Chains A and B, each alone.
Chain A
């Protein structure tokens, strides 16, 4: 089965440090999404790309978050500087809204 691969699976970092999360989408999927999941808010869209071009990043705090897709096999989400309130599970997904998304297993981020 084709998979979306996310690294790292877990990350513990100190407040103020830079965090980079990586995603390898499924080959052939032209839309890539970053979501954040918390108990309180559920799944929230942070940013998404189509054909590697950013379409919407309005869900992201732009002063500290950035999302890029340097090539078709890699999407990155960076937080600099990280804060405790950024602690959450971050998911990457690829696909399209008509036929559904394939999610990765997520990066569980803890900022202390």
Chain B
């Protein structure tokens, strides 16, 4: 069974701090995606990583896909209150003809 485990489950930091959240699996994924979900809204896609070892940057957010394609991390530099939300990782389910499985997410709170 493919599972994506995210850690930490909750994270509360002050504005300006750096943080890293993790997404791990014992299974290999062809790609992984990161979403951010704000209260009362649906998840919004941030990035897709497809190559083992790949690093993608989106302003202050850095995403890395593990060499073995079993894990990924999201690093935020100088967090802002606008970064507050639920961060979800997701990957294609093997043999599913295209649906995603999701981790349970990391709930980030950035305080001013």
Contact = CB atoms under 8 A, between A and B. Distances in A.
- At the interface, is chain A mostly helix, strand, loop or mixed? strand
Q: Kindly state the interface size class of chain B when it binds its partner.
A: 20 to 34
A97 B99 contact: yes
A100 interface: yes
A91 B88 CA distance: 15
Interface string A82-108: 000000000101001111111111100
B1 interface: no
Contacts of A102: 45
A43 B102 contact: yes
B44 interface: yes
- Range class of the A interface residue count: 20 to 34
Contacts of B40: 105-106
Nearest to B4: A42
Contact of B31 (A31, A42, A98, A103): A98
A103 B97 contact: no
A56 B99 CA distance: 9
A98 B100 CA distance: 9
B6 to A, nearest CB: 9
10 contacts: A4-B42, A43-B102, A50-B97, A55-B99, A97-B96, A97-B99, A98-B48, A100-B45, A103-B44, A105-B40
